Structure 1
Amino acid sequence: MRPRLARRPGGEGAAVRPAPDAFDRRLIAPMVLGSVLNPINSSMIAVALVPIGAAFGAPPAQTVWLVSALYLATAVGQPVIGRLTDMFGPRRLYLTGTALVGAAGLLGALAPSLGVLIGARVLLGFGTSAAYPAAMQLTRREAERTGRDSPAGVLTALAVANQTVAVIGPALGGLLIGVGGWRAVFTVNVPLSAACLVLGALRLPREPRRDAGHGLRDVDVPGMVLFAGTLVSLMLFLMAPRADHWYLPVLTAAVGAAFAVRELRIAQPFVDLRVLGGNGPLIGTYVRQLLGALTSYAFMYGYTQWLEEGRGLSASTAGLTLLPLSGAALVVSTLTGRREAVRAKLVVGAAAQVAACAVLLLIGATSPLPLLLAAGLVMGVPQGLITLANQNALYRQADPARIASAAGLLRTFMYLGALGASAATAGYFPHRADTGGLHGLALFMTAGSVLLLVSSLTDRSLVRLTPRKPGKA
Structure 2
Amino acid sequence: MSTTTATAATAAPATGRAVPRSISFGLGSGAMLQGLNSSMIAVAIVGIAAHFGSTSGIAWVISGLYIATAVTSPVAGTLAARIGPRKVYLAGLVLIAVGAVLGAMAPTLGWLIFARILLGIGTSSQYPAAITIVRMIADRRGGQTRSALAVLNVCSQAMVALGPTVGGVLVGLFGWQSIMWVNLPLVLMTAVWVLSVVPKDPVGASGAGAGGLRSARARRDFLRSLDPVGMLAFLGVITATMFFLLSLTTDPLWPLVPVLVGLTAAFVRWELRVPAPFIDVRTVARNRALCLTLGRTLLTYTAFYCVFFGLPQWLQGARGFSSGTAGLLMLPIAGVGIGATILATRLYGARGARPVLLVGTLGLTVGGLALVFLGSTSTPVVVLVLVACVLGIPNGFNNMGNQNVINAVTGVREVGTALGMYRTVQYIGANLAAVVIELTTRGVVGDEGLHRLGTVIAVIGVVLLVGVIGSRTLRMPAPVLDAGARVRAGSEA
Q: TM-score, normalised by structure 1?
A: 0.87
Shift of 1:387: 0.5
Quick check: 2:344–2:401 contact (8 Å CA) kept in 1? Answer: no
Query: 1:396: Cα distance to partner?
Result: 0.8
SS in 2 for 1:129: helix
Give me the identity figure in percent: 35
Correspondence for 2:103: 108
Inter-partner Cα distance in structure 2 for 1:86 and 1:21: 23
CA contact (8 A) 1:47 1:318 kept: no
For the pair 1:79 / 2:74, whether they are aligned, the reply is yes
Matching residue of 1:10: none
Q: Deviations over 1:154-175 (max 9, x none)?
A: 1221222222322333333333
Match of 1:409 in 2: 421
Bigger CA drift: 255-264 or 101-110?
101-110
Aligned to 1:421: 433
1:301 maps to: 309
**Number of the residue aligned with 1:472:** 487
What runs of 5+ residues in structure 2 fail to find an aligned partner?
Answer: 1-15, 214-218, 489-493
Query: Cα RMSD over matched residues?
Result: 2.7
1:101–1:127 CA contact under 8 A, matched in 2 = yes
2:124 counterpart SS class: coil
Distance 1:227 1:450, change over 3 A: same
Partner residue of 1:217 out of 220, 224, 238: 224
Instruction: Check the 8 A contact 2:411/2:485 in 1, yes or no.
Output: no
Q: Which residue of 2 aligns with 1:283?
A: 291
Contact 2:80 2:88 in 1 (8 A): yes
Q: Quick one: which amino acid aligns to residue 63 of structure 2? A: S
Tell me the residue number matched to 2:336: 328
Aligned partners of 1:179 and 1:379: how far apart in 2?
Answer: 32
Change in CA separation of 1:421 and 1:162 when aligned onto 2, cut-off 3 Å: same
Work out the number of aligned pairs and report it: 452
CA distance in 1, matches of 2:335, 2:90: 32
- Which residue number in structure 1 is paired with residue 261 of structure 2? 253
How far is the alpha carbon of 1:247 from its aligned partner? 1.5
Q: Deviations over 1:14-33 (max 9, x none)?
A: xxxxxx96634442232111
Distance 1:352 1:339, change over 3 A: closer
- The answer to whether the 8 A contact 1:48-1:315 is kept is no
- Does the C-alpha gap of structure 1 residues 98 and 309 become closer, same or farther in structure 2, counting only changes over 3 Å? farther
Could you tell me which residue of structure 1 aligns to residue 243 of structure 2?
236
Q: Secondary structure at the match of 1:384?
A: helix
User: Bigger CA drift: 222-231 or 192-201?
Assistant: 192-201
Q: Distance in 1 between matches of 2:468 and 2:47?
A: 39
**How much does 1:218 deviate?**
1.2
What whole-Å deviation, never above 9, does each CA across 1:397-446 have from its counterpart, x for those lacking one?
Answer: 11232121112111111121122223434555676654444444333333
Q: For residues 373 and 49 of structure 1, what CA distance do their matches in structure 2 show?
A: 26
Change (3 A) 1:467 1:21: closer
Match of 2:23 in 1: 27
- Mapped to 2, the partners of 1:153 and 1:289 lie a distance apart of 21
Q: Does 1:364 align with 2:376?
A: yes
Range moving further from structure 2, 273-282 or 428-437:
428-437
Return closer, same or farther for 1:323/1:466 CA change in 2, 3 Å cut-off. Answer: closer
Separation in structure 1 between the aligned mates of residue 191 and residue 243 of structure 2, nearest angstrom: 34
SS at structure 1 position matched to 2:300: helix
Structure 1 residue corresponding to 2:408, chosen from 385, 396, 399: 396
Which shifted more, 246-255 or 344-353? 344-353
Relative distance call for 1:174 and 1:452 in structure 2 (3 A) is farther
* Residue correspondence of structure 1 range 376-387 to structure 2 within 5 A: 376-387=388-399
Deviation digits for residues 194-217 of structure 1 (CA, Å, limit 9, x no counterpart): 222222333332232653314223
Superposition map of 1:53-72 within 5 A: 63-72=58-67
In the alignment, is the contact (CA less than 8 A) between 2:157 and 2:338 conserved in 1?
yes
Task: Please give the per-residue CA displacement for 1:82-140, whole angstroms capped at 9, x wherever unaligned.
Answer: 10100011111111111111222233333455443332321111011111111111121
Q: Which residue of 2 aligns with 1:347?
A: 358
Are the aligned partners of 1:64 and 1:422 in contact in 2 as well (CA < 8 Å)?
no
Gaps (5+ residues) in structure 1?
Answer: 1-19
Separation in 2, partners of 1:430, 1:472:
51
